[in-house]
Amino acid sequence: MSVILKTPEDIEKMRVAGRLAAEVLDYIAPLIKPGIATEEVDRLCHEYMVEHQGATPAPLNYAPPGYQPFPKSVCTSVNHVVCHGIPGEKKLKSGDIVNVDVTVIKDGYHGDTSRMFYVGQPSIQAKRLCEVTYECMWRGIDAVRAGATLGDVGHAVQTHAVQHGFSVVREFCGHGIGRKFHEEPQVLHYGRPGTGLKLEAGMIFTVEPMINAGKADIRQLADGWTVVTKDHSLSAQWEHTVLVTEAGHEILTVSAGTPPRARFGDVNGA
C-alpha cells in the first residue's frame, strides 16, 4: 500500500478544493424542496462549480475500471439508495431524505464531501438514521490522529452504528484523495482497534460511512452505478475530507454553511 503524504503546498490546495466542494452544498441546500427533480439539483450544482467557482465536477464521465462513465456532476442518493445515485427526472417529495455527494477539482486537486438533506418533514426513523450516521462520521473523525490506526477509525464508526440498531455497509469505504479522486488508503467503516495502517501526519482521506436502517446487504442496479439496500430499508451517508496532523486532524471540507460537529444526541446538521 503506497500512501502519498501531502506537502504543505498540497495541503493548502486541498483546503481550497475542500472549501469549494462544501460551498456547493451550501448553495444547493435551500433549493432542495418537494418538487425539485434530482437532475435539476445536478444542473444547478454543475453550473455553480463551472461558472461560479471555475472548478471541474470530478464525477462527470468518471470511469474507474469495470464501470461505464458516470453521466452526471453530482450523486443524489434518495431514501434506500446507499450511494452513487444518478440524478434523473424523478422529483423529490416531502418525507424523502437525500444525500448529495460533491467532488470538485480545482488546480488539479480534489475536494470531496457529502451531506444528508431532509425534503419537507422526515419520518422519525429517517431523522434518527441521518442523525446517528452524522454521529458515526464524527466518531470516526475523532479517532484520526498520527499514531492511530485505520482500525481505530472503523471501530469507532461501527460501534456507534450498532449501538443504535443500525448496520454498516461494508462494500464501500472512504479513500485517500489528492491529485487523484481515489488514492490509498481504503478507509473501512468497521474494524478492530489497533489494526490496519498506522496514520501519519500528511495523510488525507475521506471518512464517509454509509449506514442502513435495516440489514447491511446491498445490490447494484442495472445502470451499473446506483447501489441500494437489499431489504429496501433507508440508508444515510455523510462525508468529510480529513487531514491527519501531528496534534490530531483538520477537516478540509469546511465552509460558512458546514454543519457543526455532532453533539451526540443533538444534531443540527440535516
CATH number of the domain within which 108 lies: 3.90.230.10
Half-sphere exposure of 257 (CA within 13 A, CB side): 15
| pLDDT reported for residue 270 | 40
The range of the structural domain enclosing residue 137 comes to 8-251
pLDDT of residue 263: 78
Residue 19 within a domain: yes
**Domain membership flag for residue 264:** no
Bond preceding residue 69 cis, omega within 30 of 0: no
Q: Which residue is it, cell 503506497?
A: 2
Question: Which residues have C-beta within 8 Å of that of residue 50, sequence separation ≥ 6?
Answer: 56, 57
For residue 268, pLDDT beyond 60: no
Q: Is 60:73 a contact under the CB 8 Å cutoff?
A: yes
pTM to 2 decimals? 0.96
Residue pLDDT, tens place only, 164-221: 999 999 999 999 999 999 999 999 999 999 999 999 999 999 999 999 999 999 999 9
The answer to whether residue 2 is domain-embedded is no
Q: Where are the beta strands (DSSP E) in the chain?
A: 56-57, 75-78, 81-83, 97-106, 109-118, 167-168, 174-176, 183-187, 204-207, 210-212, 218-220, 227-229, 235-237, 240-244, 249-251
Q: What is the DSSP string of 89-157?
A: SPBP-TT-EEEEEEEEEETTEEEEEEEEEE-SS--HHHHHHHHHHHHHHHHHHHT-STT-BHHHHHHHH
**Is 180 within the bounds of a domain?**
yes
For residues 200 and 242, the answer to whether their CB atoms sit within 8 Å is no
Share of the chain above pLDDT 90, in %: 96
Q: What pLDDT band is residue 260 in, cutting at 50, 70 and 90?
A: very high
Q: Does 262 fall in a domain?
A: no
Q: Is residue 42 part of a domain?
A: yes
Yes or no: say if 255 and 26 are a contact pair by the CB < 8 Å rule: yes
Share the mean pLDDT of the chain.
96
Q: pLDDT band for 235, please (50, 70, 90 cuts).
A: very high
pLDDT at 257 over 70: yes
Q: Name the pLDDT band for 269 (thresholds 50, 70, 90).
A: very low
Distance in angstroms (rounded) separating the CA atoms of residues 146 and 144:
7
For residue 165, give the nearest of 209, 230, 214, 98 by alpha carbon.
214
Q: Give the pLDDT score at 194.
A: 97
Burial of 132 (0-12, 13-18, 19+ CB in 10 A): buried
Q: Is residue 252 within 8 Å of residue 243, measured between CB atoms?
A: yes
The answer to whether residue 16 is domain-embedded is yes
Give the confidence band of 266 by pLDDT, cuts at 50, 70, 90.
very low
pLDDT tens, residue by residue, 109-164: 999 999 999 999 999 999 999 999 999 999 999 999 999 999 999 999 999 999 99
User: What CA dihedral angle connects 81, 239, 181 and 66, to 10 degrees?
Assistant: -20
- Work out how many domains the chain is built from and give that number: 1
The CA distance from 142 to 163, in Å, is 17
Q: Is residue 141 part of a domain?
A: yes
